[in-house]
Amino acid sequence: MTLKELVWDMDGTLLDTTAVVPAALARAVRVLGGPDVDASDVVAAYWRGTPEVIMEHLVGRSLTATETDVYYRELEGVEVVPYPEVVDAFATLRAQGNALAVFTGASSRAAGMLLESAGLPVDVLIGGDHVERPKPAPDGIYLAAQELGVDPVDVAYVGDSPLDLRAATTAGSHGAAAAWGHMYDPAERADVVLAGPLQALELLSGGARA
């Protein structure tokens, strides 16, 4: 199968945010008077959607826009790095004329901050705040495909979590499991399992195999 474009998940796929994002959310929850949560509590709530939704769940009440800004203040200045091969993969895609597209459950504001910190500019950024339903709903993949001017069936969605792969399946896209990511589950069905980001490029030439 030859595909036209790649769409990437961000956390655990492009960027190693394993420590910084849960820590920033946990600090924000404490500042807002919520319980003393740890990284595992935060990660367990990722499926709920954007940071704003996660914070409301963890704090246990509705939050104003001013209150949710606490998270973004905690996120300012954090240092994150791309996973190995990501920079090279993006450079190759750019040279080949392919777009650099991301669909993340994080808000577009948080994603922009983290991608900028990592020095990883993208052409298309779809955040959790751009869609009505979070993963595993396919909304973000549909929107990314629309922005790229291709059909979802011609897209491979590269992500580490089971929710990423389920979203790809529902969208009719190619689900590419990022086996280097911290939420990768080998028991979750994928169209292809990738050992590293550079291997994703083979999907555009029909060279990858599950």
User: What pLDDT, on a 0 to 100 scale, did the predictor assign at position 210?
Assistant: 39
All structural domains of the chain: 5-16+81-204 (3.40.50.1000), 20-75 (no CATH)
Rounded to 10 deg, the angle between the 139-148 and 162-171 helix axes is: 60
User: What pLDDT, on a 0 to 100 scale, did the predictor assign at position 2?
Assistant: 76
Nearest to 7 by CA among 164, 112, 187, 121: 164
Question: In angstroms, rounded to a whole number, what is the distance separating the alpha carbons of residues 53 and 49?
Answer: 6
User: What pLDDT, on a 0 to 100 scale, did the predictor assign at position 207?
Assistant: 44
pTM: 0.92
Q: Which residues of the chain have pLDDT under 50?
A: 207-210
User: What pLDDT, on a 0 to 100 scale, did the predictor assign at position 1?
Assistant: 60
